[in-house]
Amino acid sequence: MKNWINRSWINVKYWIKKKYKLVITVVVIGICSVPFVAEIWFFEEHTTIAKKLKYVGVFIGGVLAIINAYFIYKRTKELNRSNKLVVKGQLDTRFKDAATLLAQENTSANLSGIYALHQIAIEASETEKQEDYVKIIKDILTTFIKANSVIEYRKIEKESILLQESKDLIINTVAYNTKNNIVLQTIIDKLFIDNGCEIYEVKCLTDLTDISKTVLKEINFFSAKLKYANFSESQLQYAKFGKALLENTNFRKAKLQNVDFRRAELQYADFRWTQLQNANFGEAQIQNVNFGEAQLQNANFEKSQLQNARFRKAQLQNTRFGNTQLQSAQFDGAQLQNTYFGGSQLQNVRLNGAYSIDKAIFYNTSWNEKTNFSGTAFENKTVEELTKIMGNPPEPLEEKNK
């Protein structure tokens, strides 16, 4: 029964589609004849032919207006469809030309290609059917960074190996070329810094921005938005991350030399097994960042705020935490020789098993009773002895809670 009903309905729609002109004509004539056949029912009284014809004229005019509006709508819809096809064709052509420019070995052509691709990404982000261009363009630009800043190692014969690890002998990277750095910096500006970089974040939400295993020298990420960016196993020299947002950013096993993170905001960033030489985190906001087993040489955290930062088994050589707020920070098994905590506030800090804690500097340091010194040279010291070493005695938790 159901199949019969469906087939019947399909047949009716087919007949209406083929005979719609006849149907419309019959319906219009039928409605126009109502005032003449049933004038009492329609007008509730006998009326003149002129009034009847006036009604018929108004009705026919309305029908014609509706039909005209329908065909205008159909033409407009078809025109819009044609325009979209033209725009898409133009966008495809522009994309192809821009990608060709980026592939050339010429700085001017590369810059033109970058700007053209970025403009296409902005326009495509406004149209739902074309927003895939945004992800494609982001992948192209990040791939260009990786392809032009890779680490190249010298091949050494077994008989002539003088060092234990030949991979330490980096001999050539395109990133060290000043001219090429202009191109790389322009890409980074478009992806992470300039107005319009938000489109890549919105359209590529949580997508990993992979620029791992690269060598970048004197690149500026100032005020960049680097969510889910991957710098793992990269080498960064004199890079600037000041005021940048580093959320879920991965620096694992990277080598950072003279890198500036001043006043940056770091959330859930990963610096495990990272080498940080002369890194500057001054006045930074550091929350849930992992520095586990990292090597920090001459690193600076002065006037920064660290919440739930983890330095488990890290080597802190000449690292400065002066005037820093450390809340629930963990230094389990860390090497603290010559680490400076002068003027800092230690709240619920764990120093379990920290090495050379007696050679760290705790001048005028504020600390509370939950500061944990177990397994260290301070474990069995009294509050008075710790006060002489660290400065301010701990405030009792009971009074603090009041």
% of the chain beyond a pLDDT of 90: 46
If we measure between CA atoms, which residue out of 258, 117, 261, 143 comes closest to residue 211?
143
pLDDT in tens, 186-231: 999 999 998 888 888 876 766 788 999 998 989 999 999 999 999 9
Q: Which residue ranges form the domains of the chain, and what is each CATH number?
A: 87-154+167-196 (no CATH), 220-401 (2.160.20.80)
% of the chain beyond a pLDDT of 70: 67
- pLDDT score recorded for residue 202: 76
pTM over 0.75: no
Could you tell me the CA-to-CA distances from 131 to 127, 138, 202, 204, 374 in Å, in that order? 6, 12, 11, 10, 56
If we measure between CA atoms, which residue out of 233, 236, 154, 126 comes closest to residue 188?
236
- pLDDT score recorded for residue 19: 55
Token pair 């006998």 is at which residue? 46
- pLDDT score recorded for residue 158: 44
